[in-house]
Every structure is written in structure tokens, then in C-alpha cells.
Structure 1
Amino acid sequence: MKPPPHRLLLTAILLLRCAMCTFSAKNCPNCGTTPVPYPFSTASTCGDPQYKIRCNSGTLLFDTLNTSYPIMSINPSIQRLVIQPASLLPNTCVTSDYIYEGISLNESLPFNITSDNTIMFLNCTESLLRSPLNCTSTSLCHVYVNSTKGEAPCQAAPICCTFRAGGSSTAHRIRVKDTGCRAYTSFVGLDSVLPVDKWSNPGLAIEWVLPQEPICGSQADCDGNSTCRPAANLSGVRRCYCTGGLHWDPIQGICAHDATCQNDGSCGGSTKTALIAGLTSGIGLTLLVIVISVLLYKRRRRIKEAQERLAREREEILNAGGSRAAKIFTGKQIKKATNNFSKDRLLGAGGYGEVFKGILDDGTVVAVKCAKLGNTKGTDQLLTSQKALDFTRPEDDINLAVYVQRMMEEEKLMDVIDPFLKVKASSLQLETVKALAFLALSCIEEKRQNRPSMKEVAEEIEYITTIATAREVEN
């Protein structure tokens, strides 16, 4: 007797997925009405103990080193959970986890903060203005604070900064403290184009590493489709490894194998089954092509946006502290200024390349340095004014430290840095040097009580490098 057509269709659909699955790990019961997906563990008898969370009166909680945060959502398919950031203390611009210096994850556990988060530091000190963070008046944190959705107490604290989390230095920590910022908030997948009233509620996305097979003490801890054997990478640890023909599915927490028509005897040469399988494969291939095309388009758009943002940031750095406006020139403009690098415009040549005389459209005379092809030390073309730099000799000062201090007071710190270092350094690296220089300046204060302690210096250096690394990852 031939099976009905609808049963053939159902069989074909099931053949595209895992058709024989068996649980090798025990899921934890719901927390109130909220499911607890594998590998999370709310008790010692379920889930994976490395992924421990707590169920408190129907609410799931995520524990950090010092405190706990409510879990807003869990998505096992992309290994993401979102926690609710700390709220502000009543009538203040200080977060309730300020006494713990913010969020600190246990680095020995398989969790880390993702780059999906846009972090806004609030109620910051002036020292943050010298950091690589975006603390300008047009930054997203100012837009947020000045909106009706922002926290009113923070509107009286004028300095705030914005950055993207998830770098190596911010993968496990969002820090608040007296010498930096005393409050923060976070938004997941924030679209900066949207008005603030369209933003989602604050949240902090945390990802987890896919779990390995369940740990076992004996075969009694495993089911009939797995065997308790020593782990390959940990001495003294045993795990339930799937038997032949099965594979470990870390998302579902099961031993599973893909079914074929030979498994259930449904081959039978059925033309309908073959037709359905062929149509399904064709549709799947079409969808794959569409997905790849969309991803390539988004990638090209991100590259273009990153190039435009980099050009704007370079101009802002060049303009900082200068008496004349700086500008990024195109290759076409540079060729025109040097008469297509004409030999009669050649001013000289060196190890890094040649220097040409250039004349801009407004009559300004400039020097154009052109790096030799293949020379990695001079890959960037530099367009600078021919005006001689008035470098004051360090010998005129008491010592080098005093000389550098005077140059900083005159906002000429960049003049004392080796030009060759500046050529190879990024704008972020130069901004970090500035921040470290201001820290060094405080170390040579005449009065001892005005100088920071070694502990404070070490903490500030760690903070500056942490922020610089986070900004580098963002870019």
C-alpha cells in the first residue's frame, strides 16, 4: 500500500533535518515561565556546571565576580544572552554597581562581552577628555543624555563618552570609578541613525563558548548513545562521547546523526520523494546565493563607511590644536599640485622616497613626500606646509622633562615626537601618547602631595591602554 502524498511530503522535510536524536545531557526545568536552554545550569543535576546561572522567584540571574544582573533574553542559536545593566542610584548619576567598579566577568568561565554593545560612560571627570574615547559634544552619549529618554540626573554632569565594547581589554569588564566615570549604560546593536525614542531598552550582550560533551564520572552518567571516556585535553576529566554514527550537537545538548532514506527504508525509488528532494535542494541553493549576495553588499558598504569615517577622524586629528585647517587630499589633487610629479618640481630624494614642490589651487606652496613603491616605512603620502618649524632646542631648558613640560603647556607636544614615529603612528596611537604625556606631567609636580602614587599611575596607565584597545577594535 502506497503512503498518502502528505506523508511523503512530511518525510521529505524531516529528511532535511536531524531525524534521529537522543539527549545526552539533561536540560534544567523552566524558571517560572522562562525556559532554561542547554547548556545553562540552575542546579547541579542539570545543564553544564560551567554555564551556571540562578533562578530567583521566576527571574533568571547572571552572576559576575561581585554581583548579579537580571537576564533579559537568551538566544542559543547564536550563543548570546542579554543582561540588564545596573540602574542609577536615586537622584544621582551613579550606577548601583559603582561600589563594585562596574561589571567584572570571571575570565575562567566561557563568557565574554561582545562587540554588539555600544557603551556610554556618564558623569566622567576631565581626565577622560584626554582619552581616545569619543567625548565630543556631538557623541551619542550626549544625544542620549539630552533626550527625554536619558536619565535626568546625568544632564547636570556635562562630560560623557561613547565607545564600542568587546575588545580584548573590555571582553570581561566595564569599569566605573572616581577617576574616570561613575555611571554607564549600554545598548545592543544600536543604530545611531535612529532617534533616541526609537532605541531599544538598555542591555549588555554576552556570548558564550559552545559547550563540550557532558562531564561524567562513570558510564551510568551517560545514556546508551554515548560512552564515558577520558577527555583528550584535560587530565583526570571524563566526558560522554557519542558512539559511532552519532555526533555531538552542542546547541541542543544531544547526540544526533543525520538520517538517510536507508535508515528508515523509505527509499523505494519513489519519484515523488526524489522530486521533493530536488526542489528543496534548488530552493536551498537559491537562498544561499541570495544570502551571500546580501553579505557581500553589506561588507562593501561597511568598508566604504569605515574609509569615510577614517578620513574624517584624520582631519579632526590634524586640525586639533593647529592654527590652520588641515585637509585630506585626493591623489588627483596631489598630481595637479605637483604637475603630475614633474621632475622640475623635484626638491630632493631620500631613503623613503622623493619630495616634490606643490602649488594648491589657492596658491599655497606645499611639499609633497612620495614614498617609494614597496617601501613599507613610507607608504603614506604626506602633504605639509613648507613653513619652517620653530623647534626650541632642549639644551635651552634645565632638562628634557622641563622642556617637554613647556612644550605641552604651549600645546606643542607633537613637535617633540620624532617625525618618523609620527609618520608610522595612527591617530589613535598619537592620542594615546598625549594621554600618557599628561599623566607623566602630573608625576613631576613640584609639591609631593600633588603627585600621584605609583599605584594610581599604574591604574591610570592600565585604564588608558584599555580604552585605546577598545577604540582600536571599534575602528
Structure 2
Amino acid sequence: MGLQLRLQIIILITVLLTKIIGAVGAPALVLSGCRAMCGRVRVPYPFGLEDRCSGDTWFTIDCNNSKPFLKRLGLEVLQISLKNGTILVNYPVLYSNNNNCSAAGGGINRSVLVPDLNGSLFFFSETDNIFAAVGCNKRALITQKHFNSSFWGCDSTCAHAGAGSNSNNCSGINCCSAPIPAHLQFFNVTWSRIPEAEADDSGCAYAFLVQQDYWIGHNLANSNPFAVNSMENLPAMMDWYHLNKTYYYMSPIYCASTIVYRGVPWWSGCRCPFGYEGNPYFTDGCRDINECTNSTLNTCGKHCVNLPGSYRCDNKYKMIIIGVCSGLGSLLLLACAWWLYIVLKRRNMMKRRQKFFKRNGGLLLQQQLSASEGGVDKTKLFNTTELETATDNFNENRVLGRGGQGTVYKGMLTDGRIVAIKKSKMVDEANIDQFINEVVIVSQINHRNVVKLLGCCLETEVPLLVYEFVSNGTLFQHIHDPNEELPLSWEMCLRILAEIAGALYYLHSAASIPIYHRDIKSTNILLDHKYTAKVSDFGTSRSVAVDQTHLTTIVQGTFGYLDPEYFQSSQFTDKSDVYSFGVVMVEILTREKPISSTRSENCRSLTAYFIQSMEENRLFEILDPRVAKEGRKEELVAVANLAKRCLHLTGKRRPTMKEVAMELEGIRMSQGGSTFQQNCEEVECITIELSEAWGTASTSTTSRFNIEEGSPLDVQPLLF
């Protein structure tokens, strides 16, 4: 491909891009949603075809039968020019008071109503209009309305015998003309006979304002000025001005200087500067004219370079070479800068990830995994890129739920597994060793009713934990917002309770190191597609040595499920999990929330409400109707008594999770009540409010509860 052909292609592409950019950036002439045309007349802002589309009601135009009329003046609009700041209208022809005028020459019989522009924003253009009078031996004097005095006029004499009336150019023979003063808004015409003239003055006479270009262009002055006898209106040019009101969008740099008229400051009009086009009444409404795209606007031909408001001529080869070199240099510089930015960004990201990995205990976890038998296969250390890809950069659409411990996202790993990724809110750096130990322990839990921890990512500011995904929501949802197509039956509820109890028994007793969950509640019990229970959310869980009987910790838990004994002593035992499980049992039996403002003041706590009802032998009054209908009486009584034992105020009198699990299995297998003898004393009725019971807690104890933001009494689930 030759050099000349390449240059032609480059020039063609440049011209096309310039046209496209010019079309996209074309300035607006009307307000958004407003019409721009009435018939063949374009109506730009500040004029508008509705009040809301105009800058002032004086600029509102009615469009009647495709003809535009100034709404407040009734004048037909012929043309509007923002470039010149003018509006061309049809203005009536005035005539003499001679009664024979209407009949002479087939003239028009009319009653002239001259529009009054006083008080409006319009005035007659002194540069574009002339005042003209047609008649024989007539003197036309203009009287301004507010001053009631004659200011100027002209004399129109009769044509002499043999003199042609077609060549006077309205210089005084049968036709005369005069300029008009500035800012004229209204006038009257008075007629008189020229005193020194001898000819008869009884003929018709006409006076009018007319656009000078129209009067000359149509050759009316030279051909037959009396032709106005058959005309009602002639074109007249008006300018407009306006007070400097804030409702205009105009940019003042495009507006003329302020003038003072009748003691009031006015803007005499706005224009786009030379070399610009558009609507000066909009902010940035004037756009540069590209003179290079129009051969009539430049003298350069093909060697034109557009400038703001102007242009210049230049050698095309020089410009092409400069443009190509500048473009290549800019691209090269941009590519280098981008490459350097990517390198520095990756380097900083690597350092940042390494910093978080060390701070979050990554080195300690690696040691624990390498020392733990089979630990490497059971727990995986994910990197940030893997989890960002799995969650589409933690897209909000992937959020499964939010809770006190953090936010849970749904993700898909590269091997196709669906997982739940928990992004913690914070990590306690002082207890990072304990956190890593918990991750190792929980990841080794292998129980069908415990949500499996697949691994974690420590390269982020807060750790990310990766769990198996459980698809069927929480037990809380199925209890309090049941699925109408497949609600939980009593048989399913009993099985779920047995599965939860078995999982907690495993954590307390059968695991290599006992684990206390510390936040058992219905929102932390997940159900899979077969309605199999899965205990989840070990964010507050703690492991204990085999010879330990309790943990002394900061009080944590969910209001309504919290063990009162733990709240008072700050010592968490396995019986604290038993108490929380007892609340879940009652929640299933009654389908009531742990805390509710709809119950009486003394029994807002579900625990207090249940124990009191048991003491008053009103169990079947508080049971959920579906539960009462589907469950056998012996089963319901046995489960209620077991829940009552789990809710004993004294932890030592509560059964262990092993006993609870075995008794629930016995209830499921038996045809009657419990297969185990209840060897416990009667539980005291908890009639006092939980706040009074917990009021005896030590003032040195620090507490933290998960309480719903919307209501201090109702607990809402953390959705998975």
C-alpha cells in the first residue's frame, strides 16, 4: 500500500471521527421533552411551545394549525434566529381615516388593532426595520404612546406629470421612509396634508413598519408601493431583552452588556461568540464550529486545522507526521505507564496479602496442618483469587445472609462445588493463636449433622471461612415462615431434634477435643434438600481440654437462647448448650419466637411462658395446632418434659446432651412416651422476666448479644 493511499485513509478516518463527535456533541436547542418545531418554524429556547418549555411566558408560543403565534401578543411568528437574537413577525398595516380607502382599488376593509409591546420583553429592531408611508400629498407623523407627542415621520408627495412613480425607491414621491428610534415598543400614526403641496390629498394613505430586507427584496418601493392596499400585514423584525433572572440557563459570557431602560437594568440579548454556534441560553450551550468541515467557512481547503472559535491553515504532511508521531508516542507512553501500574499494583497486592497472611496466623496454621495427621487433606488454604472468582468479586447478588459474625456469600469453586464463604467482620489479633486452633479443630469434625468446614483464606484483611453449602434454608425459616407446599411435620421435627442433639453430643463428648458451640439457635440450624439438620456457625465456639468442666469468657450469645447461669457467672459449660437446645425444642413445639412483645409482660420470654404453662398444666393450650394434631399425646408430653429439664435454671440439674440424644431417639422409636425414667426434681416456674433474672449478674462481666436491629424483642435468622 503506497504512502499516498495511506495518508488518504488516515484523512478519511479523521474526517469521519470528527463528524461523529460533532453529531454526538451537537448542542441542545430546546429543553428536554419539549417540541422544537411548529409547522416550518423552529422554536428554540428561551421560546417554547408550552409554558414549561419557555424561559418566560412572554416567550410562550401557541401552535395553531401549524402556525406559531406569540401567546401574549397574538402576533404570527415567521422566523426565530438565536444567532442574530431576532424574531420576525407579521405586523399590521396602518391606513388613513379616509372613508373611501376600503373601496379604492379593491382594498381590504379592516379595523386595525396595533399590538402594544409595552411591558413585554420585545422591541422593534432599529437596524432591521424602516417606517414607510404610501400616499399622495400626505405627511405621516409617529406619536409614541407614553409621551403623546410627534417625534418623526416623512412626507409623501404626489407624482408630477410625466414622472415615473416606479423609480423613486420610496424617496418621497408617492412613498416615503424613515428610520425608527431604539427600543421602540408602540406608536400611533397621525396624518396631515403637506401645507405647501397643491395636489389633492383625498386618496388613500398607508403607514407601516416593515423589515427593510423584505421591502427592498420584494421591490415594493419601486414597482408599486400602493400594492400594500391589499395587504393586512407585513414582516417586521423584533429584538428581545429580559431581566437577568436566575431561571435562565444562560452563560453570561455570551450575553450583551446590561442596559438601563426606564430605570431598570435589562439584558439586551445573548449571542454565541464568533466561531461558535448553539443556544447561548443554556450553560455551555455554545459549541465550537468546525470550520474545516465546511469549505465555505475556511480558505484552507484540505489543509485546515480547527481551533476554538477559529481555524488555521497548515501543511497536511506536516500535520499528519506530527499527529502520527504524537499518537504513537502517546500510545507508547500510555502502554509503559499501564505496565508499570500493573507491576506495582501486583507487587503491592502481594505484599498486602503476605502481611494479612502473617497477621491472621497463616504461618501458625501451616505448622498446625503439617503436624496434624491427615490435616492437609482435610483443610485447604485458599488464596484470594480463588474466592474472588468463586463469588464474582464478592458480588452483592451472591449474599446469602448477614449476621453478627460476618456476611455469607454463595460461591462455586473451580471443581464445580457449591460452597458458602463467610467473610468475618473482625479478628482479635490478641487471640489469633486460639482462632487458628479452632479452625484446625472444626475442620476435623466429621459428622453428617455438622456443617463441614472445607478451608479458609488468610490473605485478606479479615479471614474467609469456606463451608459446604446447605441449600434449604434455616430451621427458623421453616418454623416461623413455613413452606405451604411441604411444611415441617411433627415426625420431621422430632427427627431434626434428634439429629441436632446427636451432633451436639458428638461435639461435647465424641470429638477428639470437646467443643462447646455457644450459640445454638434455630437460625444456626440449616436444612439440606432432604431436610437433614446441619449445625452451623462456629464463630463463637470454643474447644476445651478433656479435664476442663467450663470456660470463663466474655458473655456472648443470642437474646432468648442465652443460659441465665452463664450470664451471671461468665462460665460456659456443656449445660449452657443444653439450655439453648431446650429453647429450640420449645420453639418447635409452640412455633413461637424466643422473645415476643405480643405475649404478656411477665411471659415475653418463651422460656418463662413455657415453664409457667407447664406448671399450670396448660401444655396443650400453647402447642402449635399442627404439632398437637400430628403428634401423639405421650410423645408431646415426653418432649415437653425433656425441654423443661433442659431449661432448668441450675445447670447441674439439666441432662447432658448424651442423655437428651438418647431420650429423643427413644421417643422416636417407642410407641408411647419416654423409655427413660425422669429422675429429676420439679423445675421452678420462671415467672420473672429475663431482665430481672440477669440483673443479678456481676457488674464486672462484659456481655455481647445478637439482637435484631428492627425490634429488641424478636430474633431474626442469619440466612445461609
TM-score relative to the length of structure 1: 0.35
Higher relative contact order (CA 8 A, sep 6+): 1
Q: TM-score, normalised by structure 2?
A: 0.25
Q: Which has the larger radius of gyration?
A: 2
